[in-house]
Structure 1
Amino acid sequence: MSDDTPTVEVLAEDFEDLKATVYGFASQLEHNTKKVNELATAVASGDGQDGDGESGKDKGKEKEKPKTPPFILWLPGDKYADELAALAGWVRDLLVPTYFGEVSSSATWCARWWEHPAAVARLHAAWLAWQELTNPETCGLTGPSVWHRDHLDPMLAQLRAADGPFAGCMTNPDRPQHTVLPVPPVDPAPAPPVVAEPEAANA
């Protein structure tokens, strides 16, 4: 029958490991206690804050808040045009060629999607989320997965639904039946105005 009693050497190693762990906890506790004391001292002294809790150096400055992205449909003229142009590049170069299949009555699309405010709003929201969630500095390595699951898939389901914003484009005889995904057309330059020839003066 074997003797499982630990040797003195094993006990000594376990003791050293335990001692190192306790030392680590003690160092962390000392660091945290120091930070708490510094914060308590700063709060007690007011640190230059007025009665509203705002420090003098921050007066006249806006309080730092998370930057809220613009809701594109509320942007005025030129800002809307600039934001829409940037969005259009993303839709044309990434979204359509990568994620869109054939167009049908159950998977709608309009080549002039920018004429549909509901589509613009949804596409813009997905684009903003894509910018954040494909940046490892802000989202880590799981960001793209989160973007597909929480943003892209729900957006496409709503946008391309049979009763979605493009439904009229698929059924209205005044608009083309879309069976392929054309590149958004470039509006041609307007034709020059026709100037009538002046009538010859009567002799």
Structure 2
Amino acid sequence: MTALEARAAEDQENKPAFILYMDGSEYDDGLHRLTLWVRHLLLPVYGREVTSSAAWCSRWWQHPEAVAQLYGLWMAWQELTGAGSGATGPSTWHRDHLGPVLASLRDPSGPFSGCRPGRHRAKEAPEMDPFPH
């Protein structure tokens, strides 16, 4: 193995796992850290008023799609705004990550579409017919 291959393998091992690949205490810890970021950074800085055309669920962690999207957003935040990131990292994060994720989550037909302030409503996944083989 070359030094470059060894470095690539080491980098892959040190990358944080995506939350949908976690379970048990690893998932709980990842979700806890995400909730801290959402509560103390995302919502105070980027949270806008909840309206019928821009829904939000105060129990967002009970929506798997929201957890997945917010965790990805948080991972990008860490990579693009942390120590060692380039000067354009924050701009890239805003343009490529923040805007699309918030637009998707807060869309009137998004994962929070049935939720209202103070009221969470779980969404049912669409059905799928068995795959014929």
TM-fit CA distance, 1:113: 0.5
1:164 aligns with 2:131: no
Taking structure 2 as the reference length, what is the TM-score of the superposition? 0.78
Match of 2:27 in 1: 80
TM-fit CA distance, 1:74: 2.1
Q: Which runs of 5+ in 2 are unaligned?
A: 121-133
- Distance in 1 (CA, whole Å) between partners of 2:74 and 2:63 is 16
What RMSD, in angstroms, separates the aligned Cα atoms of the two structures? Answer: 2.3
Q: Which runs of 5+ in 1 are unaligned?
A: 1-53, 56-60, 178-203
Change in Cα spacing, 1:145 to 1:62, as seen in structure 2 (3 Å) is closer
TM-fit CA distance, 1:100: 1.1
Contact 1:129-1:151 within 8 A present in 2 as well? yes
Greater radius of gyration (CA) = 1
TM-fit CA distance, 1:135: 2.0
Taking structure 1 as the reference length, what is the TM-score of the superposition? 0.52
TM-fit CA distance, 1:148: 0.3
TM-fit CA distance, 1:136: 4.4
TM-fit CA distance, 1:76: 1.2
Contact 1:136-1:143 within 8 A present in 2 as well? no
Task: Look up the SS of the partner of 1:166 in the other structure.
Answer: coil
1:134 aligns with 2:77: no
Letter in structure 1 aligned against 2:93:
W
Match of 2:124 in 1: none
Q: How does 1:46-85 map to 2 (within 5 A)?
A: 54=1, 64=9, 66-67=11-12, 68-85=15-32
Give the ranges of 4+ consecutive aligned residues of structure 1 lying more than 3 Å apart after TM superposition.
Answer: none
TM-fit CA distance, 1:62: 9.7
Match of 2:99 in 1: 153
